Amino acid sequence: MSGVDFVREVDENVPGFRERLEGLIQTPPIYLLLALLVLVSAGLAVQFSAAGGSGQPWFWPHAIRALAGCALMVGVALVDIRIWLRFAYIPLALTLALLLALEFVPSGLAVDRWIRIGSYQFQPSEPAKLALVLALARFFHDRRGRGGLLALVVPGIMIAVPAFLVWRQPDLGTAAAIVAVGCVTAFQAGLSLRVVVAGTVAAVGALPLLWWFVLHEYQRVRVRSFLDPESDPLGAGYHLLQSKIAVGSGGAFGRGFLGGSQTQLAFLPEHHTDFAFTVFAEEFGFAGALAMVAIYALIIIWGVVLAQFVRNHFGRVLAASITFIVFLYAFINISMTTGTLPVVGYPLPPISYGGTAMLTLFACMGLLLNVYVHRDSVLGRRNQTVV
C-alpha cells in the first residue's frame, strides 16, 4: 500500500439545506422536470383510456400515486447527499430482507412477487434495482482506484443475491434487469477491464446453461412463442400478437384518444399494466410513440451529461446508473410490446399502472436531482480506517 492513499480525505463544498433548496428553485433542471411531466400526463391519458374513458378504476389512483411520487422525489432530492452515502447499504439490506421474507412468509400474506399489508401491495423486486445502484455506488466510491479480489467478489454478491431471489419468485425479467443494472453500474464505477472482458466471455458461455437450468418451462414457452408468435395465436403468443396488431394499427398518427379498438374492445390483455405503451401507441400512432421514446432518451442523456460534471464519484455513478435504470424500463417494455424481446412482464413507469414501479421511478428522479444539487461537492471515502 502506498502512503498517498492514507491521506485523510475531507468533504468540501457540500451545500446546506437552504442552499440546496435555493439551488433547486433558482436553477431547476427544467428539461428533466418537463420530460417527467409529459410522461406522467401520457400515463394518465393511457389509464383513462384503458378504462374505456373513465376515471375509475385506474386514472385516479394513478394520479394520486404520481403526486405522492413527486413529493417523494423532492424529499429525496433535498436530503444531504452525505446521508445517502452514509446509509447507502441500508436500502439493499432492507430489500434483501423483504425478498427473503417472500420466500418464507406463509402464502396468505405474500403471493408471488407481492407483499400485502392490508389493502396495500408492495413489490420489493422493483426498488431492488435502485437499492443495488446505491450500494454499488457507495462501494466503488470507497474503493475507487483499488483493485483486488474484493472489488470483484463483493459487487458480485451484491448483484447475485437479489437477482437470485427475484428469479425464484419467479420474475425472470426483473432478475435479468437487476443483473444488467448491477453490471453496468460496476462497469461505469471502475471495475477493472480484465474483469469486464472475462465476465462478458463467461456470460456468453453461460447462456445455454441459463436456458436449461435457470429458465422455468413456462419461461421457455414464452421465449419460443416470442420467436414464432403466429404459431399459437390464442396461446402463449396471444398477448404479443394482439399487442403488435394494436401498435401496428395505430399507424402514423394513431386511432385517436379513446379510439383504439384493440384497447377499447379488450383484445389487448393487461392493457393498463405491462401493455400500457401499446395503448399509447395504438391511440397516438408512430408520432406519439416516437415522441415518448425521445422523451425517455432526453432523461437518459440529461442524466449522463450531468454525471460528467459531478465532482464526487458517488454522485457520478448514481447519476449514470439511475439513467440506466430508466433506459431499461423504456427499452425492455417497449421491445416487449413490439415483439423484439420476449414477454417478460416488465413495467413502464410512469405509463404503466403500478405503485411500486412508479415510486421507484420517482425515487430515481429524486436521487438524480440530489446529485444535481450536490454536483460541485467533493466527498471523501467513508471507510478510511478499514483500508
Partner 1 sequence: MKPVERRHRQDFDRRSLLVLGLNGCFLAVVAERLYQLQILEHEQYAARSDENRVKLQLLVPPRGRIFDREGVLLAGNRWHHYLHVIPPSEDEGRREMMLRLAHILQPSATQYSELHEILRPAAGDRGGPHRLVRLDSWEDVTKVASHSVVLPGVSVRRESERHYPAGEVLAHLLGYVSSVTQDDLSRNEVLAHLSNYQIGRVGFERAREEILRGKIGNLHVEVNAHGKPVRNLREKKAVPGKDLRLTIDYRLQRYAASLLAEETGAAVVIDTVGGEALACCSSPSFDPNLFVSGLDQATWSALSNSPSTPLVDRAVRGRYAPGSTFKVAVALAALEAGHDPNTTVFCGGVREIGGNRFHCWRRSGHGRLSLMEAIAQSCDLHFYELALNLGVDRIAAMSRRLGLGAATAVDEAVNERAGLVPTKAWKKEVYRKSWYQSDTANIGIGQGYLLVTPIQLALMTARIASGRGLAVRFVQGVASHGVDEGPATAAEYGRGDDLAGPLDIQDSSLAFVRDAMSAVVNNPTGTARDAAIERPDFRMAGKTGTVQVRRITAEEREAGVKKNEDLPWKFRDHALFIGFAPIEQPRYAVAVVVEHGGSGSRVAAPIARDLLLEAQRLGITDPDREAGPIA
Give yes or no for residue 10 binding partner 1 (CB under 8 A).
no
- Length of the chain as a residue count: 387
x/- mask, partner 1, residues 252-291, rule CB under 8 A, reads: x--------xx--xxx-------------x---xx--xx-
- CB crowding 63-88: b at 16 or more within 10 Å, else e: bebbeebbebbeebbbbbbbebbeeb
Least Cβ distance, residue 364 to partner 1 (angstroms): 15
Pair 190, 140: CB distance under 8 Å: yes
What distance in Å separates the CA atoms of residue 207 and residue 326, rounded to the nearest whole number?
25
Long-range own/partner contacts, residues 232-239 (CB < 8 A, 24 or more apart): 238/269, 239/269, 239/270, 239/275, 239/343
d(CA 171, CA 167): 5
Establish whether the linkage from the previous residue to 57 is cis, with ω within 30° of 0.
yes
Residue ranges in 327-356 that form contacts with partner 1 under rule CB under 8 A = 327, 330-331, 334-335, 338-340
| Number of residues counted as binding partner 1 (CB under 8 A) | 50
Q: How far is the CB of 220 from partner 1 (least distance, A)?
A: 24
**CB 136, min distance to partner 1, A:** 13
Among 13, 308, 383, 384, binds partner 1 (CB under 8 A): 308
Out of 246, 351, 358, 371, the only residue in the binding site for partner 1 (CB under 8 A) is 246
Binder of partner 1 out of 122, 156, 214, 249 (CB under 8 A): 249
Least separation in angstroms between residue 144's CB and partner 1 is 5
- The 162-191 contact track toward partner 1, x by CB under 8 A, reads ----------------------x--xxxx-
Minimum separation from the CB atom of position 284 to partner 1 (A): 10
196: its cell numbers: 469486464
Quote the cell numbers at residue 30. 427544467
Indicate the residue among 125 and 337 with the shorter CB distance to partner 1: 337
Residue closest to 352 by CA, chosen among 47, 130, 36, 112: 47
Identify whether the C-beta of residue 254 lies closer than 8 Å to the C-beta of residue 287.
yes
Q: At 122, phi and psi to the nearest 5?
A: -140, 135
Of 300, 322, 348, 361, the one binding partner 1 (CB under 8 A) is 300
Task: Point out which residues bind partner 1 (CB under 8 A).
Answer: 4, 144-145, 184, 187-190, 242, 244-252, 261-262, 265-267, 281, 285-286, 289-290, 293, 296-297, 300-301, 304, 307-308, 313, 316-317, 320, 323-324, 327, 330-331, 334-335, 338-340
